[in-house]
Amino acid sequence: MNGSSNKKKISTILILAAILVMPGFLYYLLQDQGKNRYRPLPIFGPKVVSSTFHSVRGKQIPDTIYHIVDDFSLTNQVGDTVTLNSWKGKVVVLNLFYSKVNSDGSKLALKAMHQFNELYQKNDMVHLASISIDDKDNTNDLADFAKTWSAESKKWDILKGDTSDVRKLVKNSLLLDAVNQSTPNERKFIYSNKIVLLDTKHRIRGFYEASNKEALSKLDDEIKVQIAEELRNIKDGR
């Protein structure tokens, strides 16, 4: 009897240990009547209820119109024009940067982006983008910056644009903050150090503080979750 009890205790301990060492990604996976399902990521930003409906198990459910990133036209490190259509079918990991500063926060964000660039280099569904908040940057500045961080445009766009275009994109679409506090004697910007995750419909699925290791680990997990969602949508014809 004692032997059986001890074996049961050991089995319980092993199961608990296995759960504890599993990747955070598994937190999102659920078992529902033998089917593999996952917990979809939230959709951020303002939303409105549509006048149209969809049916779920015979019940009419009103559709929701979610906030999406508006189209834009920016220039990348090789001089190409980049728009939302350039990222068609891509899950996008995006951040803001200021090429003339090497603060700890800026370094951490770019280091994180570099790591994601390495991690997802062979995954065509994932694309990275970094947007300069300094309208003084030119294509050569972006090219030098891209070289420093091994950013090739086919995988990681280093972008610039007119002040008004970038401000509109950052504030109204990405829901981030970026303020120009420059003086005649000094160029100075205060901007969000968060990394943003966009789905293939250009909706915001997450914000992640670049200086927080747990947040970056969560981002890695949630990129995988979003890929799973996109693949499932393709399979279901959505």
- CA nearest to 97, candidates 77, 127, 124, 80: 77
Same domain for 126 and 13, yes or no, is no
Residue 45 resides in a domain? no
CA dist., res. 78 & res. 159, Å (int) = 10
The parent domain of residue 11 ranges over 2-38
Same domain for 156 and 105, yes or no, is yes
Same domain for 122 and 216, yes or no, is yes
Same domain for 134 and 226, yes or no, is yes
- CA nearest to 221, candidates 96, 121, 119: 119
Same domain for 25 and 107, yes or no, is no
CA dist., res. 184 & res. 192, Å (int) = 23
In one-letter notation, the amino acid at residue 192 is: S
| Structural domain count of the chain | 2
Residue 57 resides in a domain? no
Same domain for 88 and 200, yes or no, is yes
Same domain for 136 and 217, yes or no, is yes
- CA nearest to 216, candidates 68, 122, 123, 93: 93
Same domain for 17 and 86, yes or no, is no
- More confidently predicted of 226 and 16: 226
Residue 203 resides in a domain? yes
- CA nearest to 138, candidates 86, 75, 73: 75
Q: At what angle do helices 213-235 and 104-119 cross, to 10 degrees?
A: 40
Question: Using one digit for the tens of pLDDT, what is the confidence trace for 101-141?
Answer: 665 667 889 999 999 999 999 999 999 999 998 888 999 99
CA dist., res. 162 & res. 48, Å (int) = 31
Question: Using one digit for the tens of pLDDT, what is the confidence trace for 208-219?
Answer: 999 999 999 999
Residue 8 resides in a domain? yes
Same domain for 129 and 210, yes or no, is yes
pLDDT value at residue 63 = 80
Overall pTM > 0.85: no
Q: In the chain, at which residue ranges do the beta strands (DSSP E only) sit?
A: 29-32, 35-38, 47-56, 59-66, 74-75, 81-82, 91-97, 126-132, 156-159, 178-180, 189-191, 194-198, 204-209
SS3 category, 41: coil
CB 146 within 8 A of CB 111: no
Residue 65 resides in a domain? no
Same domain for 96 and 7, yes or no, is no
Question: Using one digit for the tens of pLDDT, what is the confidence trace for 222-238?
Answer: 999 999 999 988 877 66
Query: Which class for 175: exposed (0-12), middle (13-18), buried (19 or more C-beta within 10 A)?
Result: middle
Same domain for 18 and 118, yes or no, is no
Residue 158 has pLDDT above 90, yes or no: yes
Strands 74-75 and 59-66: unpaired
Q: Two tokens at 135?
A: 């309208």
Residue 160 sits at the vertex; the CA angle it makes with 158 and 164, to the nearest 5 degrees, is: 150
CA dist., res. 39 & res. 118, Å (int) = 26
Same domain for 79 and 149, yes or no, is yes
Q: Two tokens at 235?
A: 């399979």
Residue 67 resides in a domain? no
Question: Using one digit for the tens of pLDDT, what is the confidence trace for 45-85?
Answer: 999 887 786 677 778 777 889 999 999 999 999 999 999 99
Residue 143 resides in a domain? yes
